[in-house]
Amino acid sequence: MRLLPSRRSDLIGFGVLIVVLAVFPLLAPPSWVNVGVYALIYAIAAIGLTLLMGLAGQVSLGQASFFAIGAYTQAILVTRYDWSGITAAVVAVVLASLAAFVLGLALLRLRGHYLALGTLGLGIIITVLATESEFTGGTSGIFGIPKPEFNNRTYNSPSEYFWLLVPVVVIGLLVARNIVSSRIGRALGAVNDSEVAAETLGVDTFRLRLQVFTLSAAYAGVAGVFFAHWLAVVNPNAANFPLSVKFLLISVLGGLGTVWGAVIGAFLVEFLDESMSTFIPQVIPGATGEVELLGFGVVLVLLVILLPGGLHQAWQLAVGRIVGRGGGADEAAAAPTARPDPDDSPLFARAGRSEPGSTLLEVRGLTKHFGGVVAVDDIDLEVRTGQILALIGPNGAGKTTCFNMVSGVLTPTSGTVRLAGKRIDGRKPHTFARARATRTFQNLQVFGSMTVLGNVMVGRFLRSRAAMLRGALYFPARAEEAQIARSAYDVVEMVGLGAEARRQATDLPFGRQRLMEVARALATEPDLLLLDEPMAGLSRTERRELALLLRRLRAGGMAIVLVEHDVEAVLALADQVAVLDDGRLIALGTPDEIRNDPAVVAAYLGVDEDDSEAAEAVREMTGGSGGQS
């Protein structure tokens, strides 16, 4: 069965693109071709920006900075040092990427607005540096950059330069597409949907974003090289804010949902620019100069309010009306929900695990203060291989906070967490994941932009290796991609979601989304699994099936910590039970011990009010305030 999307549509699209671009200079009037050259140059930079904003979710208002670095480097090396165009180009792109890498180390720690304005500031700093430095030619910049020459043919007419750019744009687009549908692309998509969930599946968000930031700058650098040769002059305006705004407009107009948007957006924006420069002065006499800004501004505002997904969204809406919402829903309704395997053989056994019964997770003195509130107070816990520990207690007792601290989502105020002997408290969640531990979430952290299968495939992130380069080239990573899809599907079937594998994750009822989260967590092949209320929203049958699954996992040697409110289910399933109340551990023992522990009863389980003796005991213990249930 075919699990991965077909590449055929992509190939057709690229074929048509090449034909159209090749034919364009032959048919279009010269002024259009001139505009087209700029469109292609800017498109290259915009592809990088779309990758950064759409895929990695980072807003950059400074794409022109790296564009300028590429352009200046090329200009200086070619005019001042007489380097050949190609060698200089390689250095220019490397330099732009390097600059992004170094700056990204600092800037990418910023979030949202701060990153956007930090990149804006970067653009201004580069402009100032270029203006002030003799080396870069000051305000006048570098001029006299020759047109490229290959095989005794100088590419100096708009048509020739256009053709020169076409393969660059096509390859750039191809590489970007490959990355988007690769393992790295999937991981980044997951980060966009839920950064915390992606991290707990082992995705090192910072590192990936830095990679995309660097790559995006490389694209800008390439565009800058071609810009330098075409314009023959490079000056500090190449890094200026209006240019970064133009790149932003191109990406947003085309639609951040697809890298094709960059190419289409570029043509649109450049033609819009040209036509507005001629149109507005006719409507408003005497208006000259950057009047096209009026159009840009209005377009941006309207886009965001009416069509935030850009042209891509417009297209999807239009097609959606015609084609109808096909696929997933009908499939799922037609096929009966497959029930998981009813046998109880061990699952996910792994040779590398320590002996059953040995301590895997050790928590000592775990404490968390939020300002003046003590959410978790001095908790000691141990989880053993091949064991299920249940964590129960009233709402607000601190269970999820514990999970958050153990999995690295929160830093403990004090206390230690040791996994397989190594301290992991205060480390980021992907460290937790790399130590073969993972978790699910009480507030669902589903990757809404993906299918069920897609979600679980993200779970395979740590069990696969293809880095960005292999993903970019597509073929070296193809076999692994197929493998990832297959193993993910196996896990999906195992939990009983096989029929819904290709549905959008958010289309599932909440309970089954929770199940999907479990599948996703299992896909990482963990030794330790933290489950935060996995049974909420499941039917009785589904709960029994999940319980069976957990037993099989335990039999295979996994250590499981389970937070649940279904006390009966939990007491039947667990080997050890820990009870939290008000941040403190009030009881720890076997299910039987816990069931009868008066403190637990008073705090959580509650007691039959007709049993006067017990009620009296409870009243004494709690100072008359009565128990909660």
* Residues numbered 43-72 forming contacts with other proteins, rule: CB under 8 A: 53, 59, 61
287 binds other proteins (CB under 8 A): yes
Q: Closer to other proteins at the Cβ: 84 or 140?
A: 140
Q: Closer to other proteins at the Cβ: 73 or 79?
A: 79
Distance separating alpha carbons of residues 180 and 543, to the nearest angstrom:
37
Closest listed residue to residue 447, CA positions, set 206, 210, 195: 195
CB of 496 to other proteins, least distance (A): 26
- Considering only residues 509 to 538 of the shown chain, the ones binding other proteins according to CB under 8 A are none
CB of 222 to other proteins, least distance (A): 18
CB of 471 to other proteins, least distance (A): 19
Identify which range of 105-113, 200-208, 449-457, 535-543 contacts other proteins by CB under 8 A: 105-113
267 binds other proteins (CB under 8 A): yes
Distance separating alpha carbons of residues 486 and 463, to the nearest angstrom:
13
- Considering only residues 292 to 351 of the shown chain, the ones binding other proteins according to CB under 8 A are 292-301, 303-305, 308, 311-312, 315-316, 319-320, 323
Closest listed residue to residue 189, CA positions, set 2, 446, 427, 437: 446
Distance separating alpha carbons of residues 64 and 242, to the nearest angstrom:
9
Q: Closer to other proteins at the Cβ: 390 or 410?
A: 410
Residue 380 backbone phi and psi in degrees, to 5: -115, 130
Closest listed residue to residue 418, CA positions, set 490, 336, 324, 354: 354
Per-residue contact string for residues 14-33; x = within reach of other proteins by CB under 8 A: --xx--x--xx--xxxxxx-
- What's the full length of the chain, in residues? 629
- Considering only residues 219 to 248 of the shown chain, the ones binding other proteins according to CB under 8 A are 231-233, 235, 237-238, 241, 245, 248
Q: Closer to other proteins at the Cβ: 263 or 366?
A: 263
Identify the sign of the CA torsion 105, 109, 115, 117: negative
Q: H/E element holding 197?
A: helix 195-200
CB of 459 to other proteins, least distance (A): 23
Closest listed residue to residue 184, CA positions, set 516, 608, 477: 477
Q: Closer to other proteins at the Cβ: 6 or 151?
A: 6
Q: Could you say which DSSP state residue 286 is in?
A: T
121 binds other proteins (CB under 8 A): yes
Name the one residue in this structure whose structure tokens are 């420069």: 277
Q: How far is CA 245 from CA 40, 42, 213, 269, in A?
A: 17, 12, 17, 11
Interior angle at CA 244, CA 241 and CA 245, nearest 5: 85
- Considering only residues 145 to 164 of the shown chain, the ones binding other proteins according to CB under 8 A are 156-158
94 binds other proteins (CB under 8 A): no
Q: Closer to other proteins at the Cβ: 139 or 628?
A: 139
Distance separating alpha carbons of residues 170 and 18, to the nearest angstrom:
7
Which of 86, 128, 479, 482: binder of other proteins (CB under 8 A)? 128
Which of 22, 94, 129, 607: binder of other proteins (CB under 8 A)? 129
- Considering only residues 572 to 601 of the shown chain, the ones binding other proteins according to CB under 8 A are none
- Considering only residues 546 to 565 of the shown chain, the ones binding other proteins according to CB under 8 A are none
260 binds other proteins (CB under 8 A): yes
- CA 312 from chain centre, in angstroms, equals 20
